[in-house]
Structure 1
Amino acid sequence: QAGPRSIEFCGGTHVSSLGEIGPVKITSETSIGSNIRRLEAVAGTGLIDRLRSVEDRIVEASDALGVPVEDLIDAVRKRIEEAKSSKALIAELRRQLAASAAGDLIDDAVDNKLVAEVAAGTRDEVRDLAVSLRDKGLDAVVLISSPGGKGVAVASATKVGGDLNAGELIGEAMKLLGGGGGKGADLATAGGRNVEAIGDAIANVRAKLGI
């Protein structure tokens, strides 16, 4: 009994008062049927152990960040903002690197089309480089890379509104590379597993473009 109301939450222990249970904390609430809710809770020494565990984690987090517990929230928020700023800076640097690399590759274009294997650290770099080359005026760009020597990244970019379909250009090549994906009309990216087939994939796309 809790005051004037009966709180039937004894969990089968059939206590006569809440004092026999001790402190209680509801840990979850779920639906188990129409208009039926399931409550789960910890009580007594179980709750005390849980609170101690939470406190230990808070102290561990504050130690990792090198701040007092009372400053933990502000420190976490600061780290989040720093991470966002770093991410934006990395994205900008990646765009600049792609633009620089594009200037070197564009001379290899044939009939205003380029198909090449490039060195890249990530799939995003391959995509950014393809877009940068396309935006410099090329009608079609297909770049293939093996970032870190693990798998294959393919990016196909074609002139927006042009006659060439980026996804269709790499369709057969992706089968050779043991992958799939990439169905965009003017920008398609895909991945594969067969690094050894990069040369054959490049030859396939060049044949499609007649270069």
Structure 2
Amino acid sequence: LEKAKTDSLDLKNTVTRQAKKIVQNIARMQTIVDNIRHFASKEQNSETKLFDCKEPIYSALTLTSGKCKEKSIQLNFQCGPEELPIRGNFYKMEQVILNLIRNSIDALEEKRQQSIQPEREMYIHLQAKLHKESVIISVEDNGIGISQQNIDYILQPFFTTKESGKGTGLGLSISSRIIKEMQGRLSINSTPMEGTTVQLTLPLVQHHEKE
């Protein structure tokens, strides 16, 4: 009878693990499909409008704060009180910030797994500021980093440095294209085992252009 109970418990645990894997794979497949659709369609969600760049950032922070808290990652955002108006598609801009934060989470997780002495504090720091006639948005983490060799290819479609089963290789490529659509540019600075900073430079909408 005891053996039967043990076998039943083992079977239950196995089924639970397999069910979790199925759910994870379904979620990953959905992400891949969404990214491919987004990448393939330049006209998708093409409506543009004027908005404060801080709004999609706050929205992305709300969507990712729970996962960061669960993984003991410090997530913070620094900005001034002034408006930073840009023109583009709000939801695409939100997607860019989401992609960058999720990449940082993965980089921090990978570093945690590889480090003999993990960082005492893992962080993702976002900042938005005005610089001359541009709005600068940066996403910085102290994760695994990217080698210089891979930096040269990181914006190419389907290129990923993540382990098999985690990355689609489309997030940064899509993000770069969205920023170009907004007449901006995306740049990456990274040091292996120290961290990565992704910077978005976008044109500030001047007062006379708001009308």
Please classify the TM superposition score into its range, dividing by the shorter chain length.
under 0.3
| Greater RCO (Cα-Cα under 8 Å, separation 6 or more) | 2
Give the alignment's TM-score, normalised by structure 1: 0.26
TM-score after normalising by structure 2: 0.26
Structure possessing the higher radius of gyration over alpha carbons? 1
